[in-house]
A and B are shown apart, each in its own frame.
Chain A
Amino acid sequence: MIRHWTEKMVLIFSWAATVLLCLSVSVFLGYLLLRGFSSLSLELIFGQSDPLMALLGRVRVFEGILPAIAGTICLVGLSAGFALPVGVCAGIYLAEYAGTSMKKLLGLLFDILAGIPSIVIGLFGFSLAVFLHRHFHGRVGPCLLISALSLAVLVLPYIVRSTQRSLEELPAGIRKTAIALGAGKLQNIVYVLVPNALSGISSGIILAIGRCAEDTAVILLTGVVATAGIPSSLLSQYEALPFYIYYISNQYSSRAELTQGYGACLILLAICAVLFMLAYGMTRHLSYRTLYRA
């Protein structure tokens, strides 16, 4: 009887927790839509500039958030570009090649790295920027490249751990089959293990993309500014949506400006959603190409 009630209580609690979670997400999204939807317009993105001319780079956008959108996309692309190959290769090494003690040691180091607050990594990036500034006689300072490198370090543990875990969780049957068919270790990894672990790896990539898009502390110290225009090079300063949201919510002078901040939040969420879908679609396509295409 007691067991029956305990089971029922656990079920009710689990159900309530799930409902609470869904409710929180709905309230959060609903609130953002309520406050920001009215500001969603071409004017929010392009300001007073002509959208086509702005997109072609013929005119500079001063009041809109186009430079911040471009900065965010560049930042996410660059950070993911730096972190992905390193993270996936490190994950493969940990799962397939490292001995037990090496696995423990490196696992511990990556866990420590995952636990470092982003502001500390930002400070490290800032120090690097100062060093480069001195070394290159003022030609290099806080910039898009340093922000991207710092963010790559920040998200590296997610990619490493998700790659390692998804490879280690593959059934022994899959692991042995290719070996028994004459595959070498590398062939087994490339043709069987990684394609079959892609869905797990992609969840790490999605987490990393989300973190790159939203983190403000790192970029605050490494190159983001309020007005820089669309980034022209890796060594230029840039604008980014998280910083725009932070800045406008601190400095707004009218209700309309705050509403623009909420609108920017919605656009940031939409960019993240598009990037997630892109990452998901790419991994699915890659998985199909390697496993099912004739």
Chain B
Amino acid sequence: MKDRQFNLGLMETRYKIIVKGVKFFYGRNQVLNDIHANFAEHAITAITGPSGQGKSTLLGLFNCMWDEIPGARCSGEIQIRLGDKWVSPLKKDIPMPLLRRKVALVFQEPNPLPMSIARNMAFPLMLAGVRDKSLVREKVQRALRQAFLWEEVKNHLEKSAVELSGGQKQRLCIARALVLEPEVLLCDEPTSSLDTKAAGIIEDLLVSLRSQCTLLVVSHYMEQVRRVADEVMTLQDQTLRRT
């Protein structure tokens, strides 16, 4: 990890996300206070900290999932570079569906939709208006390969995704997020409900994805953070600090 940090330091760091003075409230309850941070492009940044400090909430700010929570308020500025253009999700200067396709979120609990594996994978493409079946097939296959899942499911893509094992479900969810070729992948404790072996596969997967997107990973497990992260930040007492 130190080598990677050293390398990042040598090059001029190109930031993907810039956060300035962000405050977040659930009703009257303040969860985040004056958050400032820069997240480097093509790096894995881990966000750690005790439970209940708002790590998942922070992650949800980057693709505006907080907007779906009744009574939630957010102020400050978040800038994300998508392509060559900076967008500010809090100012809503980009359509939310488009933002969520480019800044994908993988939830803590694996949440495949109660559909077939094939439908789960093709679903984001259908939402994005991709109708060309051969293109869909190609993208689905590529994403499943990236998530180390293709060999396990290629012969039963019509099977219900809910019947997969926990680790397979989580890899399917990551593959489903990858099918849209996002520029930022947000992972909220992606291994918390998995055994050591399945967690190891997901860790390898996250490391392999660094070259194609920027990853922000919330994790409790310090060992895991040391293994995969280029940079570590700790969220405690409503503020985010570089570790």
By a beta-carbon cutoff of 8 Å, the part of chain A in contact with chain B is 173-174, 176-184, 187, 191-192, 196, 291-294
Other-chain contact of B100, A182, A192, A292, A293 (Cβ < 8 Å): A182
- A173 and B111 contact, CB distance less than 8 A: yes
Chain A to chain B contacts (Cβ below 8 Å), 15 pairs: A173-B107, A174-B111, A174-B113, A176-B65, A178-B113, A179-B65, A179-B68, A179-B100, A181-B100, A182-B97, A183-B97, A184-B127, A196-B114, A291-B114, A294-B119
Task: Assess whether A182 is in contact with B111, with CB atoms less than 8 Å apart.
Answer: no
Report whether B116 and A294 are in contact in the complex, using a CB–CB cutoff of 8 Å. Answer: yes
- B237 CB within 8 Å of chain A: no
A291, B119: Cβ atoms under 8 Å? yes
Contact yes or no, B113 A192, CB < 8 A: yes
Query: Which listed residue, B100, B114, B160, touches A180 by the CB 8 Å rule?
Result: B100
Task: Judge if B126 is at the interface, Cβ distance under 8 Å.
Answer: yes
Interface residues on B, range: 20 to 34
| Residues in B lying within 8 Å of A, measured CB to CB | 63, 65, 68, 96-98, 100-101, 104-105, 107, 109, 111, 113-116, 118-119, 123-124, 126-128, 157-158, 160, 176-177, 180
Which A residues are in CB contact (< 8 Å) with B160?
Answer: 292
- The answer for the CA separation of A184 and B96 in the assembled complex, in Å, is 8
Instruction: Report chain A residues within 8 Å CB of B116.
Output: 291-294
Nearest-CB residue, chain B, relative to A187: B127
A181 CB to closest chain B CB (Å) equals: 4
Do A181 and B101 have beta carbons less than 8 Å apart? yes
Chain A residues whose C-beta falls within 8 Å of the C-beta of B118 in the assembled complex? 294
Residues of B within 8 A of A178 (CB): 113, 123, 127
The answer to whether A180 touches B65, judged by C-beta atoms less than 8 angstroms apart, is yes
Closest chain B residue, CB of each to CB of A196: B114
Residues of A within 8 A of B113 (CB): 174, 177-178, 192, 196, 291
Q: Give A13 Cβ to nearest chain B Cβ, in Å.
A: 36
Alpha-carbon distance A184/B111, docked complex (angstroms): 18
Cβ of B123: which chain A residues have Cβ within 8 Å of it?
Answer: 178, 181, 191
